[in-house]
Amino acid sequence: MRSQTVIVTGANSGIGKATAKALASKGANVVLACRNERRGHIAKQELLAQVPYGNFTVLKCDLNDLKQLHEFVEEVKKRFDSLDILINNAGVVTLKNEVTAQGFEKMLGVNHLGHFYLTEQLLPLIQRSNRGRIIILSSGAYKWGDFDESNANLTEEFSIAKAYGRSKLANLWYVHALSERLKHSHVNVMAVHPGAVSTSLGVDRSSGFGEGIHRMLRPFFLSAEKGARTSVSLALRDDVVNGGYYYKGKVKTIDGIAKDLERAKHLERWSYEAIEQALS
């Protein structure tokens, strides 16, 4: 892992920060891709206190805004000739129907479309690596989700569970479609279910309700370090399964519509078209 370049989205807290710490301790050059640069720099100083020899770079990466993501990608291309590992870790949960800068329902827009755009734009750099890895955090909540492009913004109805589940299903479908596309390359694509980790839920804690959710469920959550273990393992080990859905370090079977490759490819096409239209 020494001198390999790794990007971790949402790396200023929680699982992302724990992942960055673990990989930096193995000698990786870690890019802390953070929506808030100030918090990113605070996290960097905290990480350096724990890993004094760590190589950390903070870059602004706002998955809520595709135009800012383009700026992030251009900055990465200026700084690095190749990218060894991309860990799509960041995610949000909204308590009402909110939209991204380009008008997408926010959980789908950030958790799926932002990472989709980021991955596709960085793919040429990843393909230059001798051991490219794309690790996408999903969740068992995918079982709650479905996708209807005629109601992509959930304007007809909104359920927190269904919207979040849809975004996690989209993550799995993207892994399914992308791993199929790259199956003859040296790039492996995997999905991770990190387990129930408090800090992995990007709930707005500024509201009493959001903070209350965390307080109530905290005893049932894993630590960020435990939640990061599978992502770290997939970054380090050689024996990975392209397209695999990993939980606690092992490949798990996915259920229901998540297995449907045709629907996965359909979402992939829809994502391309929706992003192209949003940026035109």
Torsion sign over Cα 32, 37, 39, 45: positive
Label residue 78 exposed, middle or buried (CB < 10 Å: 0-12, 13-18, 19+): exposed
Cβ atoms < 10 Å from Cβ of 92: 22
Distance from C-alpha of 242 to C-alpha of 140, rounded to nearest angstrom: 19
From residue 11, give the alpha-carbon distance in Å to each of 16, 51, 60, 154, 252: 4, 15, 11, 29, 26
Provide the CA 220 distance to its chain's centre, in angstroms.
23
Written as one letter, the residue type at 34 is C
Q: Is 217 helix (H, G, I), strand (E, B) or coil?
A: helix
Q: Which residues are catalytic?
A: 164
Phi-psi region of 248 (alpha: psi -120 to 50; beta: other; left: phi over 0): left
- Tokens at residue 84, please? 């060894």
